[in-house]
Amino acid sequence: MGEKNLEIVQDQTATEPNGQISHLALDIGGSLIKSVYFCRSDSSGSGDDQDHECSANGGCAKKRPAIEGSLHFAKLETSKIDQCLETIKSMKLQFNGFVHQNNTIEDNTIKDTSFIKATGGGAHKFADLFKEKLGITLEKEDEMDCLVAGANFLLKAVRQEAFTYIDGVKEFVQIDHNDLYPYLLVNIGSGVSMIKVDGDGLFERVSGTSIGGGTFWGLGNLLTKCKSFDELLELSHRGNHRVIDMLVGDIYGGMDYSKVGLPSRAIASSFGKAISEDKELDDYKPEDIARSLLRMISNNIGQISYLNALRFGLKRIFFGGFFIRGQSYTMDTISVAVNFWSKGEAKAMFLRHEGFLGAMGAFVSYDKQRLDDLLAKESLQLQVRTSPPVDTDYQSPLNGESIENETINCIIHTA
Amino acid sequence: MGEKNLEIVQDQTATEPNGQISHLALDIGGSLIKSVYFCRSDSSGSGDDQDHECSANGGCAKKRPAIEGSLHFAKLETSKIDQCLETIKSMKLQFNGFVHQNNTIEDNTIKDTSFIKATGGGAHKFADLFKEKLGITLEKEDEMDCLVAGANFLLKAVRQEAFTYIDGVKEFVQIDHNDLYPYLLVNIGSGVSMIKVDGDGLFERVSGTSIGGGTFWGLGNLLTKCKSFDELLELSHRGNHRVIDMLVGDIYGGMDYSKVGLPSRAIASSFGKAISEDKELDDYKPEDIARSLLRMISNNIGQISYLNALRFGLKRIFFGGFFIRGQSYTMDTISVAVNFWSKGEAKAMFLRHEGFLGAMGAFVSYDKQRLDDLLAKESLQLQVRTSPPVDTDYQSPLNGESIENETINCIIHTA
């Protein structure tokens, strides 16, 4: 009873992983490689004092071996795939956990039959490279499967996973597991996928847009010479989008267009002021450009998300992916867009582990067969009950803090 | 019976207006001023041989004075408002037509009590300027009212007004006046308005996006140094968006992501390839940038339009505004987007006088009271029957040809 695969214990500030690393899972996207890996704690071992567990009816059984440790999160640019390979090589991955059926754990280091769970387009694109350079097989998991599995897992296992962000106020939302579905999952990576989720493994990709994180980064790179996504975000904090965007008031001589509910400060045309003949790129401040770009993209994603939520009668929209990064301006823009277009009917929610949904999904797929067994609703609820959600004083990494500095303590049961 | 205000006779290639110009109407937007004006032909006069018209039942009445002439279309950048004022001054506008009730036509030139019908935000913004410099009052008409009135008028009065554009094939669509409503009107100006139209004067602005013509022009200006919208469009013809956009195949190692129906050539992330650290703006061809930009914006407008059409069960979407300019690539992208997202359910249609909907609406508002009288359905149909739609061998101004080189011959009945 209460068969647990991955038991979440608590979050903590990350320390350099000093134990054995195992169960690495990768999500290799167009711009970023995201990874989730399990690191067993030094104290963790199979020598357990109590090697039997007893149920309420008095029956006892031999306890399954447990490894204590923590989940770590890391990312790297996809263009630095060679660095990724080097890092994995140096990790001396030890597969103590869910090993391939044809594999053994006698030799604790990588060998020819080793594999890593991987998702995202890069799991296909770089499969040969991993095999050639590391002798590792990338065991491909479908991208949407992983996004949904990762989101469902985190929403159920981590109490302070989802939060709203309205007018600068962040509020964690307690998810009732019996009332989680359906919801719209919007994953903002290089591009954007919108997925209607009806249950564990039950979903449909209903929409998407090519105007996503890659657009912010790509256009930002061309317009501001910022080389990194984080630098661009940092820049946008100081900007004023009104210098670049054409507002309703700019067209209407400072007035609202009240008949159709457009206030003078609403953006009529993103980058619409930049049509000026007298000005060139260098005449604009990079921070204003970055802010206008961030606003344009966030607002557009919020709007298309809302229209899709409306289409399927979904009241909750969870935004994930590596675009948001806990940025208050981005979240505020998305929240306002969803609230504005839905007239308050739909709610935008953000995920603390936003960027790692796919990688998390690939991670939990290590024990896919067992998870499949748990898909029966009763077992699933049991699983949830026996893995109490984490509840800490954790603060969301707004404006720059990174979830990569946090880990989740957990126990992996190995048999 | 059969009271006609504006009778469309035929289209013709524009000649320099050599007759008297009257009935100028302006649509002053964020980026462009659009105008429609009536120019009476030299031969036109009030000395009519037959000054009585007789109906079928034998009754005769004095014919209303008629002025023959043609409708002309012109545009100018809003930043050149002074040039606009000069042009209007030099036009020596003669108000032979629908004069203000408090006005007289004794003195055929502009005077203090003269007025021009105007719409768009600039009708508010520049009202004082027109009064001060020309002594002309801008009689403001609501922007959405005018867009809808203009679209309805053109769709009913000009047979070859609406057309589809699919796989490079343009096909005029004959609009059944009894089956015109409801439809979605998407006006792509600096920004984009989406209006559900249910009848003459019956409409609601249901959505919009700030990513419109001003975004193409503004971002294009910053990225390519092209100063004019037309130059940018011209540039985009020669471009290859695949150099800048991240395709599904770029992420998936050349493969489709077939499970969710994304072919390898689909754009995963607009401008997603421009995240490269090694390249700067100057390393990309301006034509590739312009094309990627055009594709991104057209596709986004097509998608949001479709989602709104779906929301209200509208099968027909008419695209107007000065963004499209008969560009085959733009129309093709919008058509493909609407077709792709609606799985063939909704149809994108384009309008020959796309850029002049608002100005046309302001023009027909010169006789608003009479038009209001015609709003009763019976009278409206009568109006349509007595103004036979134009049917010519007109070719749509694809890729560069301008509707401004065309005029519509018509007769204005003045009393």
Sign for the CA dihedral angle at A173, A177, A179, A182 comes to positive
Q: Select the more confidently predicted residue: A44 or A7.
A: A7
pLDDT digits (tens, 9 = 90+) for A341-389: 888 888 899 999 999 999 999 998 876 544 333 332 222 222 222 223 3
Q: Does the beta-carbon distance from A218 to B300 stay under 8 Å?
A: no
Alpha-carbon span A367 to A140, nearest angstrom? 14
Retrieve residue B251's tokens: 């992420």
Give the separation between CA A95 and CA A115, rounded to whole angstroms.
9
Q: Which candidate from B275, B296, B308 shows the least CB-CB separation from A31?
A: B275
Longest dimension (CA), chain A: 84
**Chain A residues close to B268, C-beta within 8 Å:** 30, 121, 190-191, 210, 214
In this structure, the strands spanning B316-320 and B267-269 are unpaired
Smallest CA-to-CA distance from A409 within A54, A43, A110, A117 is with A43
Higher model confidence: residue A52 or residue A276?
A: A276
- pLDDT above 70 covers a percentage of chain B that reads 72
Q: Which residue has the higher pLDDT, B327 or A195?
A: A195
Q: Does B280 touch chain A (CB under 8 A)?
A: yes
B37-47 pLDDT, tens per residue? 887 776 544 44
Q: How many CB atoms lie within 10 A of CB A94?
A: 17
Q: Find the mean pLDDT for residues A79-106.
A: 64
User: Mean pLDDT across chain B, nearest whole number?
Assistant: 79
Chain B CB within 8 Å of residue A182 CB: no
d(CA A337, CA A333): 6
* Residues B168-209: tens digit of each pLDDT: 899 999 888 889 999 999 999 999 999 999 999 999 999 999
| A218–B251 CB contact, under 8 Å | no
Q: Among residues of chain A, what percentage have pLDDT more than 90?
A: 49
Chain B closest-CA separation from residue A246 CA (Å)? 8
Task: Name the CATH superfamily, with its identifier, for domain B2-144+355-413.
Answer: ATPase, nucleotide binding domain (3.30.420.40)
pLDDT digits (tens, 9 = 90+) for B43-99: 544 444 455 555 555 555 555 556 677 788 898 899 999 999 988 888 766 543 333
* A31 shares contact with chain B (CB less than 8 Å): yes
Compare CB distances from A222 to B212, B246, B274 and report the shortest one's residue.
B274
Judged by CB atoms closer than 8 Å, whether chains meet at B30 and A191 is answered as no
Judged against a pLDDT cut of 60, whether residue A326 lies above it is answered with yes
The answer to whether residues A315 and A349 touch, using CB atoms and an 8 Å cutoff, is: no
Percentage of chain A exceeding pLDDT 70: 72
Residue A253: CB atoms within 10 A of its CB come to 16
Task: Determine contact, residues A16/A23, Cβ cutoff 8 Å.
Answer: no
User: Nearest Cβ partner of A299 from B210, B222, B225?
Assistant: B210
A101 versus A30: the higher-pLDDT residue is A30
Confidence band, pLDDT 50/70/90 cuts, at residue A110: very low
**Which one of A251, A303, A305 makes the best mutation probe of the B interface by having the most chain B beta carbons within 10 Å?**
A251
* A148 CA: distance to closest CA in chain B (Å): 14
Chain B residues within 8 A of A255 when measuring between CB atoms: 124
Contact A260 B303 (CB under 8 A): no
pLDDT of A340: 86
Q: Is the pLDDT of residue A142 over 90?
A: yes
Average pLDDT across chain A, whole number: 79
Instruction: Name which of B251, B267, B341 is nearest A122 (Cβ-Cβ).
Output: B251
Are A2-144+355-413 and A162-240+285-351 in the same CATH fold?
yes
Higher pLDDT, A388 or A258: A258
pLDDT in tens, B252-306: 888 888 888 889 999 999 999 999 888 999 999 999 999 999 999 999 999 999 9
Q: Which of A125, A190, A251 sits opposite B121 (nearest CB)?
A: A251
User: Could you tell me the pLDDT band of residue B378, with boundaries at 50, 70 and 90?
Assistant: very low
Could you tell me the two tokens for A109?
């280091």
CA A120, CA A143: separation in Å to the nearest integer?
5
Angle, helices B213-224 vs B286-311, to 10°: value is 160
Which of B26, B222, B303, B340 is the best mutation test for A, with the most CBs of A within 10 A? B222
Give the model's pLDDT for residue B103: 43
d(C-alpha A268, C-alpha B143), whole Å:
14
Instruction: Determine whether the interchain pair A217/B303 forms a contact, defined as Cβ–Cβ distance below 8 Å.
Output: no
C-alpha span between B139 and B116 (Å, rounded): 6
Give backbone dihedrals phi and psi of A302, rounded to 5 degrees, phi first.
-60, -45
Domain boundaries, chain A: 2-144+355-413, 162-240+285-351, 245-283
**Cβ of B259: how many Cβ atoms within 10 Å?**
11
- Residue A335 confidence (pLDDT) above 70: yes
Do A329 and A350 contact (CB within 8 A), yes or no? Answer: no
* CATH hierarchy code of domain B162-240+285-351: 3.30.420.40
Tokens standing for A400? 């720059």
In this prediction, residue B319 carries a pLDDT of 97
Q: How high is the pLDDT of residue B277?
A: 81
Chain A residues touching residue B253 (CB < 8 angstroms): 121-122, 124-127
Cβ–Cβ gap A311/B310 under 8 Å: yes
Give me the residues of A, 199-258, that contact B with CB < 8 A.
Answer: 205, 207, 209-215, 217-219, 221-223, 225, 227, 229, 244-246, 248, 250-255, 257
Which is higher by pLDDT, A410 or A393?
A410
Rounded to an integer, the average pLDDT of A2-8 is 48
Task: Give mean pLDDT, residues B317-334.
Answer: 91
pTM of the model: 0.82
Which strands make up the sheet holding A183-188, listed edge to edge?
A169-172, A162-166, A347-351, A316-320, A183-188, A192-199, A202-209
Of A10-19, A89-98, A370-379, highest mean pLDDT:
A89-98
The three state secondary structure string of B363-409 is: HHHHHHHHHHHCCCHHHHHHHHHHCCCECCCCCCCCCCCCHHHEEEE
User: Taking the CA atoms of chain A, what radius of gyration do you get in angstroms?
Assistant: 23
Amino acid B307: pLDDT:
96
The C-alpha atoms of residue A353 and residue A155 are separated, in whole angstroms, by 10
* Residue bearing tokens 């999160």: A73
Note the pLDDT tens digit of each residue in A397-406: 333 345 566 6
Q: Which of A95-99, A277-281, B114-118, B196-200 has the lowest mean pLDDT?
A: A95-99
- DSSP single-letter state for residue A120: S
Q: Does B411 touch chain A (CB under 8 A)?
A: no
Listed by number, the residues of chain A in 330-369 with a beta carbon closer than 8 Å to a beta carbon of chain B are 341
A393 φ/ψ angles, rounded to the nearest 5 degrees: -90, 20
E strand intervals along B14-98: 21-28, 32-40, 52-54, 60-62, 66-77
